[in-house]
Structure 1
Amino acid sequence: MPYDDDLRLAHVLADAVERITMARFRAEDLVVESKPDMTLVSDADRSAEELVRSQLKRTRPRDAVEGEEFETTGHGPRRWVIDPIDGTHNFVRGVPAWATLISLVDEGQPVLGLVAAPALGRRWWAATGSGAWSGRSLTAAKRIHVSRVPRIEDASLSYSSLSGWRALDRRQQFLDLTDECWRTRAYGDFWSYMLVAEGAVDIAAEPDLAVYDMAALVPIVTEAGGRFTSLAGEDGPWGGNALATNGLLHDEVLGRLGTDARA
């Protein structure tokens, strides 16, 4: 497949990052700061992203790199999008549900995604045309698929929090949707979408996300047979928010949450 070498590199990058993040997870001397947008950042976030950027500069010098903690570097049709620790609030509080997100965007489309959650002992990955997989490595993996649940009243929904839905003036629509679903849980962050990809959850939605929060998730959900759009129905990670489903439920959920949640 055209992105096999890039996928192998993504696993190598994740291995290297894991050595940093796991060494700092629950460390007593972890340094945590508030960024201007009032989100948290730790020394582990910055060190992990610096490591990825250094390795990409050496192995993919022609590719651009975009990350959460530092400015975008480089130009061209290929762009690596990195979130060194998705779920930083969990990380700094000692909750093991956090992950490194690594994605490759080629000609404006996310074509590769890897989610590595070392404290959970899990990884998920996909590249265009190669399916979605979960395991500890490329050689020890199981192919994953979304569920076949066709009705909202039989569906399981995962989200991160309720506060953002109020800011988008969609809180009541979202609450109505949760009331109609069979089951709701706030697994949050990357985990909601990986559970959709492996068929354990049928719907995941968030009202406010950046590209680096989503780019790695898109290939995994879609290669597993699902759909990933903005709340306005735009495919991919470009709309500032996210809805991922098993595909069968997607249009109906879009209708419940409104056509453009940012309007």
Structure 2
Amino acid sequence: MSLLKLPEIKADARIGSAQFDMRPDALERWEPGVCAAVEDAASISIYEQIGASWDGSGITASRISAILRNIGARDVVVNVNSPGGDFFEGVAIYNLLRQHKAKVTVQVMGLAASAASVIAMAGDEILMGDGSFLMIHNAWAVAVGNRHDFLAASDQLAPFDQAMAEVYAARSGMSVDEAAAMMDKETWIGATQAVKDGFATGMVDRSNITQDAKAQGSKKYLALVEASMARAGHSRSVRRDALKSLFSGTPGAAENSTTPSAGQDVAASLQSLLNNMKGSQ
């Protein structure tokens, strides 16, 4: 198992809606093309959102589990550049990595935000790329009901935040209360600061980082659209159904002008929104 003693995070299935959803501020800082220059059979790439997306993309625990089985009891390098995503998938991936029977090295190439920052903490060694960031914050949930339901949801989420604070504290050496305060503030931690504060152990060699232009596409812009829908109060299932109904192809469909299945008028509105996002970058 992992060379470093790390606490387990236990996710209670009763809070099925609890999640680290992709936040617009994280997405705006995310550059999807930043990746490792060289990867081999003992590498794991986490370059997408955490959890299954509307189009079948995304990093899931089942996918990571299969990769780890193929790698076997060998040292593994996990390259991360992700804006975060589903809380439970992130927890499950963290636990899979912490249980790995050999050394786990995590390399944050660009961004490890929200659930991706939890995954990063599973490394026995955590290396930060130039200009890379960790972002940590509390779990949040979509809840409906009366005031008693909301109070119950708050009580049920508290242990998750406590468990994550313990993970950040175990890694950094700070107290659990200090880690919890950083989560409350939704803290961005730059590469140098992450090493200084103990969230990371060193820096990635510059020669190990590259830019994959093909990975850019419209992935970021469609993710921003989904994040905007989330902020408007639409549930994850509604967002996915809406995006699926618009496009019959992949996320690149918007960029390549594939005909939407929901009508040209709706497609034109979404295409205009995507173009405006690109123009503002």
- TM-score interval, normalised by the smaller of the two chains: under 0.3
Q: Which has the larger radius of gyration?
A: 2
TM-score by length of 2: 0.25
Which of the pair is proportionally richer in strand?
1
Provide the TM-score with structure 1 as the length reference.
0.26
